Structure 1
Amino acid sequence: MRRYRAGAIGDTGHVDNAGRYLGFDASHGLHLPYKDLEQFEMTAVADHDPSARAHGMDITGALRSYSDYREMLATERLDIVSVCSRQASRHEEMVLAAVATGCHVFVDKPFTVDLASADRIVHACDAAGVKLAVAHQSRYLEPFLTAHQMLLAGEIGSLVTMRGRVKEDHRGGGEDVICCGVHILDLMRMFAGDPQWVSAYVSVEGRAVTKADAYVPVDCNGLVAGDRTDAAFGFEGGVIGHLTSVRNQHDWGERWGLTLEGTRGAVSLRMFNDLSSPSKLSISRKRSVPEEAGPFEILEVPLEPEVPGAVPANTGYPPLRGNRQAVFDLMKAAEERREPKSSARDGRWTLEMALGIYQSHLSQRRVALPLADRSHPLE
């Protein structure tokens, strides 16, 4: 059996709100799944910070480390690399450097900072025949897959409305949407297909935001604005998806999730509560108006099947479970010459939706998707 040479790119340097340097410790675990899979050899890690490199080697079992990720890519000729930086402003240069060596890529979300950048990445991957997967782990985790199958089986009837909330902590509003809300936007597409339009209102301290309110957040995920975001997306068949984020509603995202409201009932998914081991999701089979669908019945959902050739998992930590599934699927996508389950185009679509919110708000009208203007609306 062929073994794939894997690597990881860290990006220590910026400090998050807890005072930690954003290295491998503060990433979302994109560097961790390879050591548990017999199909991969964890070859090398790269980070300009010496302590981060040492830590990265220790926790991944990598054979070598580099201070410059470009040197790692040129020297090691990797088959797959994880771009672990939480700073989306750095993603394009790292991804394009990997693509230039023919290396497949697993990249953190958000995909990148604007649609022009996303277009360049998609084009480069297509031209090089390289596959890219975005870390939208929900597409690989059983509660969300089970809910999708329940919807297709008609267990809640025809889909009418989707209601999404984000973490709504100190980042609530625009920063929350681009950082964590992309998971909810991606799930909307998973359940309802590509959106056709967006209508939105973004405010700060009770007034409509302007471009003068834009700022770059700590994670460097591009320009954001507002402490409250309300958006509606239109999908085929008249399905409407609502997304709301209001600052300082919660410390730990109790509402973060998506509720599917159908003609015969509803399914409620929560990003934290539904990812435990075993996972749980809530369903109402009540025939009523969707928003009054309760009470909910709690369904236990088993963990997703383990990846073939995996060391038995020593943790049920959801992102790691999703990452393990994602890198295995990325490897199979490369072999089978198909798109990964969470592809570069899927990542670009989440940006279409997130940035479409600002374009709709600033133009004070409903905006068609995908967006014609590929620049960032807040620039």
Structure 2
Amino acid sequence: MAKTWRVGIIGSTARGNYGHGVDVAFTKIPDVTIVAVADHDDAGRVQAQKRVGAANAYSDYRKMLATKQLDIVAICPRWMDQHHDMIMAAAEAGCHIYMEKPFCPTLKECDEAVRALEMRHLKLGIAHVTQYSPVLDTVLSIIKHGEIGEVLELRGRGKEDRRGGGEDLWVLGSHVMGMMRSIAGGNASSCIATVFNKQAPVTKANVVEGAEGIGLLAGDHLRAQYSFPNGVSGYFASKRGAGGSPTRFGLQVMGSRGIIELQSGYLKPAFILQDSSWSPGRTGKTWKTITSAGIDKAEPRTDGTYEGGHIAAIRDLTDSVEGQRDTRCSAEDSRAIVEMIAAVFESHRIGAEVELPLKTRGNPLSLLT
């Protein structure tokens, strides 16, 4: 008989809420029973319980974890200042985790979370939904088969809206870092970066408390370069108010014989230009669409929504538990993404290239002079 997964939902009304519909995604999976919800806010808790049809509701998630025997805990709040404590409590209760991104605000907290999960053999999946997209699988196959030649560079940008700079790096750049790691096939080994505020290099005077539980934050413009295995260089930049329409948010994969453009999101099409000049105006070659079925083929799937991405990620989590394998975006992967973000601020702080893993495990901005 198929296993029925007992799930507890943790939300935080007005402090990250339930993320991008993480709670509702669990209601669309047949072999899931939502046992309980937890939310410190009375009205939010009532609404959440009704929304997901949970039999029980708690004001304190720790009491839920102690009272109910759960298989999986959904850590839904978008604000990540609560993530570490919630992960640690879920791990202590012996629960696997699906959670909203980003992972944790500091590498010290990431390290503690990874250790807590590893020592109990627990799995974690996180809502970097592009990592679960069949389109990404197709892109990786296309690259492997040499359709754009040797991968030379990876170029990513955030949305560059009012959050451009440091906040964009955390909130949206985290998706780009995940895509970079997938294409490059491993962790970045070094980073060199500069962070600016009103065109001047950021100093201690520019450090503020970031929105949405990010912690110490600075910068309205930043640029970073990463070194990856096999000599691949990765670049990320974001400047406040510089975003285009349509947005440039995503990743360009620059190969010796062409380019692939990846959008962030689940089942969003990618695009390929099989042109070594990287300039369709010079050769007359045109961009083609990449779907889960391949180049220039119609998309056969119909689950291309953010909720579809959550469902795919939750399925990946349950399959990883049953198959005793890592998830497609594990706790270790999530920590590596945070490490790439922290490296930007650490490189700026010391004014030089930094090696990864970083020696500094706290927020580098707390050490800025």
* TM norm structure 1: 0.89
Partner of 1:301: 291
Give matches, 1:11-50, under 5 Å. 11-14=12-15, 22-24=16-18, 27-50=19-42
- Structure 2: distance between partners of 1:294 and 1:226: 40
Give the Å deviation of 1:13.
3.1
Structure 1 residues 6 and 99, CA gap change in structure 2 (3 angstroms) = same
- Structure 1: distance between partners of 2:144 and 2:54: 42
Query: Does residue 250 of structure 1 match 2:237?
Result: no
Moved more, 284-293 or 194-203: 284-293
Moved more, 327-336 or 151-160: 327-336
Give the Å deviation of 1:43.
1.4
Give the Å deviation of 1:317.
5.7
1:42-67 residue CA offsets vs partner (Å, 9 max, x unmatched):
11111111221122123222222111
Partner of 2:173: 181
Q: Is the 8 A contact 1:286 1:294 kept in 2?
A: no
Give the Å deviation of 1:195.
0.8
SS at the partner of 1:299?
strand
Query: Does residue 66 of structure 1 match 2:52?
Result: no
Match of 1:281 among 270, 289, 302: 270
Q: Is the 8 A contact 1:280 1:300 kept in 2?
A: yes
- Structure 2: distance between partners of 1:11 and 1:251: 33
Moved more, 214-223 or 346-355: 214-223
Q: CA RMSD in A?
A: 2.2
Give matches, 1:1-150, under 5 Å. 1-14=2-15, 22-24=16-18, 27-150=19-142
Match of 1:234 among 217, 227, 245: 227
Structure 1 residues 103 and 370, CA gap change in structure 2 (3 angstroms) = same
Partner of 2:339: 352
- Structure 1: distance between partners of 2:241 and 2:362: 30
Query: Does residue 331 of structure 1 match 2:318?
Result: yes
Query: Does residue 197 of structure 1 match 2:186?
Result: no
Q: Is the 8 A contact 1:33 1:320 kept in 2?
A: yes
Q: Is the 8 A contact 1:166 1:253 kept in 2?
A: no
Q: Is the 8 A contact 1:8 1:82 kept in 2?
A: yes
Partner of 2:297: none
Q: Is the 8 A contact 1:202 1:358 kept in 2?
A: yes
- Structure 2: distance between partners of 1:108 and 1:333: 18
Give the Å deviation of 1:271.
2.5
- Structure 1: distance between partners of 2:139 and 2:155: 15
In structure 1, stretches of 5+ residues that fail to align are: 15-21, 305-312
Query: Does residue 261 of structure 1 match 2:262?
Result: no
How many residues get paired?
357
Give the Å deviation of 1:335.
1.8
Moved more, 166-175 or 70-79: 70-79
Structure 1 residues 142 and 324, CA gap change in structure 2 (3 angstroms) = same
Q: Is the 8 A contact 1:169 1:252 kept in 2?
A: no
- Structure 2: distance between partners of 1:23 and 1:134: 16
In structure 2, stretches of 5+ residues that fail to align are: 295-300
Query: Does residue 341 of structure 1 match 2:328?
Result: yes
1:230-250 residue CA offsets vs partner (Å, 9 max, x unmatched):
000011121111101100123
Give the Å deviation of 1:293.
9.1
* TM norm structure 2: 0.91
The residue type equivalent to 2:287 in the other structure is: E
Query: Does residue 362 of structure 1 match 2:345?
Result: no
Q: Is the 8 A contact 1:165 1:256 kept in 2?
A: yes
Structure 1 residues 300 and 195, CA gap change in structure 2 (3 angstroms) = closer
Q: Is the 8 A contact 1:166 1:245 kept in 2?
A: yes
SS at the partner of 2:125?
strand
1:298-351 residue CA offsets vs partner (Å, 9 max, x unmatched):
3252599xxxxxxxx9x8463211111111111121122221110000010011
The residue type equivalent to 1:51 in the other structure is: A
- Structure 1: distance between partners of 2:232 and 2:109: 30
- Structure 2: distance between partners of 1:196 and 1:320: 33
Give the Å deviation of 1:294.
8.3
The residue type equivalent to 2:338 in the other structure is: L
- Structure 2: distance between partners of 1:355 and 1:54: 37
Percent of pairs identical after alignment? Answer: 34
Give the Å deviation of 1:173.
0.2
SS at the partner of 1:43?
strand
SS at the partner of 2:23?
coil
The residue type equivalent to 1:154 in the other structure is: G
1:9-32 residue CA offsets vs partner (Å, 9 max, x unmatched):
101134xxxxxxx423xx112212
- Structure 2: distance between partners of 1:301 and 1:251: 24
1:201-233 residue CA offsets vs partner (Å, 9 max, x unmatched):
100100000233122222111221100010000
The residue type equivalent to 1:3 in the other structure is: T
SS at the partner of 2:364?
coil
- Structure 1: distance between partners of 2:304 and 2:173: 20
